[in-house]
Amino acid sequence: MNVIISASELADVLRSERPPVLLDVRWQLSTAAASGQPFDGRAAYASGHIPGAVFVDLDRELASAPGPRGRHPLPDLDVFGAAMRRAGVSAGTPVVAYDGGIGWAAARAWWLLRWTGHPDVRVLDGGLPAWDGPLEAEAETEAEAEAETEAPAQGDFVPKPAEGAVLDADGAAALARSGVLLDARAGKRYRGEVEPIDPVGGHIPGALSAPTSDNVDADGRFRPAAELRARFGELGVTRDVPVGVYCGSGVSAAHEVLALEVAGIPAALYVGSWSEWTSDPARPVAVGPDPQ
């Protein structure tokens, strides 16, 4: 099954007898917009979303609180499962996740659902900017609320994590030596030239730079599978080599895992990523373009 879906395909399946559950996962890495206020995905959802979509909070429902395990560690499975059931997710119901266009947050939702056993999850290619259908806003008055469509029926999805799809710090370090470990952050952060968030710049020794920006075209849509296979192939990635991905906090790396899946290549995710790696000053750090 394809793991991405175009806006036109989504419009068609929403009119079908078996429409998917829609997850709106709008989120931004930046802590403040031009107004000085942090980005509010819930407010963005309220102002306009694909009809029938349910908002999912990445920071609270797709991750646990920041700490030594990173800025976006794995969520408590009870919290994640409750959020998915609230959205109407059941084991036999198709799911489509979308975000504001960059694809990172939607990929995080996709990865978590796939990791915990859901068999039918896709990401809207290009996110909300690719959608040219109608949008709906949240009701502001009681009369509008009464006219709105009913909330989705409670789902029955129970998360059951798979083995082998998640790396910890030791596993990531070992994979950098025995397989291919990809760093999905911008090249400048990989090389240690800048580090706007974490205390130390650089990369895990042995990791290869593979920014998520190279996964997509100018419109933010994924490059064709053949191009992605060629891109990752130049880094030594094949189906016969174990592959892992990390980023700053396990969000943009999920986008890279999704791109690898489009290319037909399975990969593990180091969820704690650089924010966890650098929380322990004893862990080694490499700088510059050389992986070592």
By the 8 A CB rule, do 266 and 260 touch? yes
Candidates 65, 67, 89, 85; CA nearest to 75 is 65
Backbone phi, psi, residue 241, to 5°: -115, 130
CA distance 184 to 164: 20
CA distance 211 to 120: 27
Q: Which residues are catalytic?
A: 247
CA distance 248 to 189: 9
Burial class (CB in 10 A: 0-12, 13-18, 19+), 163: exposed
Instruction: Kindly state the tokens that stand for 259.
Output: 């791109």
